[in-house]
């Protein structure tokens, strides 16, 4: 039986381990924490065969699609894959603790204009480090940010990082509890110039049958339909957004605006295609930052 992302245990996010890592960071800085993250990532890769399995499936898919020998399924690539994810957790911790000034390259003039005018709905991905987007939003005229996420997944980690800083003006909505009241609330917030972020690449634990089929790297995948419908319903500018880490340690915001037309059905179909194309483009640009360690492909 194939496992969904919400059925996978997150081995690296025990509360005691996170607190220990945070104390090491406060005392000694980032370098020792990077070492700890690398060790945990390596041990997790060695001890848990499912992590190796999902990484192998991904690189097998990537290699067949690109025919690039550097992406052949092998332990070295599984290692680089999990190491990239482990280090992304260190970046995530620094974002919430507000201990580092991340410099994000961002050159989308149209998005800058839309942000200056009012509310924007962002459809985000788990390729790259979505947490860095919170740092990005914090600097955009101090706009309030509203994020949808699964209530239970990574709960320990989210509680931990939220306790590090009380300065981030963020409201979190459980994606399982979206109803008429939530929709009206979000619509009002967008009209008042606030920002909304919702992931477009992971199915809801409550509604994993509400999806659409598309292709990524030549293989069939199922992506959530509800995110796209909800975004269109809000009648605000819609952008596809990701934050990718460069080889030199800097970060770049990747964005695409969705251009709507007058047909509701065409809008939904076009948004489905544009998001799938966007997800494939950013995955190919930074293959080791594809952080989906579960049965993502059909």
What pLDDT digit, counting tens, does each position of 139-168 carry? 555 578 888 776 655 455 556 555 655 555
We find that the CATH architecture of domain 9-289 is 3-Layer(aba) Sandwich (3.40)
Task: Tell me the pLDDT of the chain averaged across its residues.
Answer: 82
Global pTM value: 0.86
pLDDT at 154: 46
**Mean of the pLDDT values across residues 237-254?**
91
For residue range 81-91, list pLDDT tens digits in order.
999 999 988 88
Q: Is the pLDDT of residue 74 over 90?
A: yes
pLDDT at 270: 93
pLDDT at 189: 93
- Residue 80: pLDDT band (50, 70, 90) is very high
pLDDT at 261: 73
Q: Is the pLDDT of residue 7 over 50?
A: no
pLDDT at 5: 38
Domain range summary for the chain, segments of one domain joined by +: 9-289
Q: Is the pLDDT of residue 28 over 90?
A: no
Q: Is the pLDDT of residue 40 over 90?
A: no
Find the range with the poorest average confidence among 4-8, 21-25, 29-33, 38-42: 4-8
CA distances from 82 to 41, 86, 159, 216, 291 (A): 6, 6, 23, 21, 8
**Mean of the pLDDT values across residues 26-47?**
88
Residue pair 92/161 in contact (Cβ under 8 Å)? The answer is yes
Distance, CA of 75 to CA of 147 (rounded, Å) = 35
Express as a percent the part of the chain with pLDDT over 90.
41
pLDDT at 191: 92
Find the range with the poorest average confidence among 7-11, 19-23, 51-55, 104-108: 7-11
């Amino acid at each position: 039986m194939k496992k969904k992302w919400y059925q996978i245990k997150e081995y690296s996010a025990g509360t005691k381990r996170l607190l220990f890592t945070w104390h090491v960071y406060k005392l000694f800085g980032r370098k020792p924490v990077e070492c700890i993250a690398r060790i945990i990532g390596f041990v997790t890769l060695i001890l848990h065969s499912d992590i190796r399995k999902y990484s192998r499936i991904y690189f097998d898919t990537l290699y067949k699609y690109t025919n690039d020998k550097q992406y052949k399924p092998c332990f070295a690539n599984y290692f680089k894959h999990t190491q990239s994810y482990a280090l992304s957790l260190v970046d995530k911790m620094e974002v919430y603790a507000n201990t580092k000034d991340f410099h994000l390259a961002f050159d989308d003039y149209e998005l800058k204009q839309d942000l200056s005018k009012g509310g924007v709905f962002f459809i985000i991905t788990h390729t790259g480090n979505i947490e860095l987007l919170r740092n990005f939003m914090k600097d955009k005229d101090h706009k309030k940010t509203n994020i949808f996420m699964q209530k239970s997944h990574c709960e320990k980690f989210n509680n931990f990082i939220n306790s590090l800083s009380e300065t981030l003006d963020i409201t979190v909505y459980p994606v399982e509890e979206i109803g008429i009241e939530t929709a009206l609330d979000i619509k009002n917030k967008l009209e008042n110039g606030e920002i909304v972020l919702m992931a477009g690449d992971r199915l809801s634990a409550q509604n994993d049958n509400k999806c659409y089929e598309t292709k990524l790297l030549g293989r069939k995948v199922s992506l959530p339909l509800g995110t796209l419908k909800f975004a269109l319903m809000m009648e605000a500018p819609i952008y596809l957004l990701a934050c990718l880490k460069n080889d030199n340690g800097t970060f770049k915001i990747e964005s695409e605006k969705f251009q709507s037309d007058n047909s509701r059905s065409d809008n939904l179909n076009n948004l489905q295609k544009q998001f799938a194309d966007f997800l494939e483009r950013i995955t190919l640009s930074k293959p080791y930052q594809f952080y989906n360690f579960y049965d993502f492909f059909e």
